[in-house]
Amino acid sequence: MAHLKTKATTGKLPQREQWKWKLIRGLYEKEFEREQIIKLFEIIDNMMTLSPELQSSLESKIKQFEEEKTMPLMSNMELRGIEQGKKIGKEIGVLENSRDDIKTVLTVRFGQISSEIEEMIDKITNLALLKEILKSAVTANSLAEFKQSLAKIQ
């Protein structure tokens, strides 16, 4: 059924999300064992892929349903793992934005920047350090001066 509904909802992700929810809810209603539900859930989840927004919506429905049924499909450890993944994703986004801000300032002020400088910036994983480098990008009188201060900061 999951395969048929996946094919029928190609390009129609909201409908796919509704069918995915119906299939998952049906696993509970048929009173399968927890291990069976998890195995079947994994198959359905892999087959019926959704956009991140719709997947998040589905996970909310599952969580609410599990709370009502008091039979979690995802263990607390799995849910914590999902939350940890979201947190790491946000941190990565902040780092990428900081790096992009530095590159934008340098490009606006000095024109095209070398791939060497870009690579040096891309290797930095410390947000506080990136903030200091941004200040240097704003205050440097030349690209050469920025490169020297970058070498000192690292």
Q: In whole angstroms, what is the distance from residue 113 CA to residue 143 CA? A: 8
Predicted confidence (pLDDT) per residue in 28-37, tens digit: 777 777 778 7
Where among 54, 74, 94 does a domain terminate?
Answer: 74
| 79, part of any domain | no
Q: Give the chain's residues under pLDDT 50.
A: none
Q: What is the pLDDT of residue 63?
A: 80
Q: Which domain holds residue 49?
A: 2-74
Q: In whole angstroms, what is the distance from residue 26 CA to residue 43 CA? A: 14
Within 8 A by CB and 6+ apart from 3, the residues are: 47
Where among 74, 96, 116 does a domain terminate?
Answer: 74
Predicted confidence (pLDDT) per residue in 107-118, tens digit: 999 999 999 999
Number of domains composing the chain: 2
In terms of C-beta density within 10 A (0-12 exposed, 13-18 middle, 19 or more buried), how is residue 106 classed?
Answer: buried
